[in-house]
Structure 1
Amino acid sequence: MSAHTGGTGPLSAVGEHRIRETEQEASLNLHTVLQLCAAGELRCSEKTRRPSAATVAAVGAQLAHGDFYLHDPIASFAWPLILQAGGLATVEDGRLHLTPKGRTALRRPPAEVIRQLWQRWLTHAVIDEFSRIEQIKGQRARNVLTSAKTRRQTVAQGLASCPPGEWISVDSLFTTMRRKGMSPTVARSERALWKLYLVDSHYGSLGYDGHHRWEILEGRYTAAVLLEYAGTLGLLDLDYLHPTGARSDFHDNWGGDDLDALSRYDGLQSIRLTALGCYALGLTDTYHPPTDDETTAVLKVLPNLDVVATGTLSHGDRLLLSAYAEHTADRVWTISAASLLSAIDTGRNLEDLTTFLAQRTEHELPGSMTTLITDVTRRTTQLTDHGHARVIECTDDALAALVTRDRALRRLCRPIGDRHLAVPPEHELKFRRALLKLGYILPRQTTP
């Protein structure tokens, strides 16, 4: 295997080669994407659940070392889908919002979250990965494709057969999967093969003999799952090229000569199952993350409530700080009561901030900071939202007292001042019935 990787960022040039170790960056990226989601910066279609182009660009700009390719989003496209499939985020009014499970994930070890995300993807994926191989047309016709869930789980079986920590070429993996009967069959039938095509539905049909080789359908699907989802989650280290000209196994198909590549995944050369991958696949029961000194002692909290970055912060760390504090200078964030209350109002938890600061500073938080956090925490408990209620006005204090002292009615309403009552919507019907028994009636509201 060539040792020349051509850099560490996204691959952009034809012929360029990259070896990408994904394990640590996946943990960083999980934190970053969750923070982007918590900030309400990600948009997805409510119908297809796919991320918008602006969201893909926003995610790609924040990923550790960037996406795999500069001009063809893979990880930045996958992350919003993975969060949805894992139940960590849901689309509301076109934006991704963290679910309670997603907010809990912010405080859990990344490996545990990634393991659950992979397992959920196998059974609850948002899309059929084969749809990302756009050069193969006819996929939307009826009764053409097999169950994506079954295909996906077959690929996972093939992945689990890889030797941990050792590079294996994708072609060797393809051979192993075929030999052991782990074939993620794409087309439902021979008739379905005729509906799939390249360029032209007649001349380019994959139904012709020799035009639907395993590498073209099952192989491309396998590569899509491996690179876009297993690779994004850090289950695999990746050895890859630019897809242009990387494979020629489709050139004999009509129209194949006109294509630079059959898919964006054609450049995948070899994979290496990581320790995180073994854990996510259930091959090991425990996971010990590599030591990462960059996540410790990178902040200093000053008595004036400034938080100063003294080391390198990940994109996720910057997003978290900006959620709780005002970014007042290049490496300075200022925390105030207003900034903390604003964060809480958007669903943030002060415990997340204090845990974050404790993990990334050498010294205890100054007294001014702990006092501020204690004061803001106290303020958050001094008001209680009891939900919506119908407000009833009584003609005098005596009637209000009569209602609130009645054995049946007092459980269905709350007094507001001397002459008003609050009746929760779920108790309104019972309140009206009990009021009738007391000898009174509440007139129905008329719609103007």
Structure 2
Amino acid sequence: MQEPPAKALQTAWKRWLQTKTFDEFRRIDAIEGQTGRGANGMTDVAWRRDAIASVLAECPVGKWILFNEFSTYVVATGHKFEVTEEPYYLYIGELGYGSLSDLERHIPQTVQQFLADVKERSNSLQDLGTVKLIECTSAHLALLIANDSRTKKFCQLAGDRTLAVPLGQETKFRTALRQMGYVLPQSDK
């Protein structure tokens, strides 16, 4: 008899937390030094998994979270996932030139805040595409059209007397306007 998917996932999760025979970090072939001298400094796999599981337990249930958001949360809340106690033995490329210990330099709080601000500001605006701006003769007419059940799904108020209509919705907007008894003249602009 086959387990329901939720139960199977729960079983797999519990087994993954308990296993010590597989280290996911070893799958990152670009990071060298994991065998040999670097192997002695690697932290316990079970400890790392417990640390990850404890942060995942803080996530909302039943909601997908983007990896970048999760990573930001991990850093912001001070959680740490130490992979090695000796990062100078791990490297990318050549030992001495691509040491992972170089990544652990202290970053001042002001720089961290600046980087956080840049990230937030770079994600604060979104281009929703090109619109046609339509000026109404009065604010009352603009409100009437923006809130009418036939036209409101094709336009938005963009000021007191101005409506914004996405270019892909213009034909539907014009049809809905005619149903209301209004006509938008064709424009060469």
TM-score (norm 1): 0.22
More strand by share: 1
More helix by share: 2
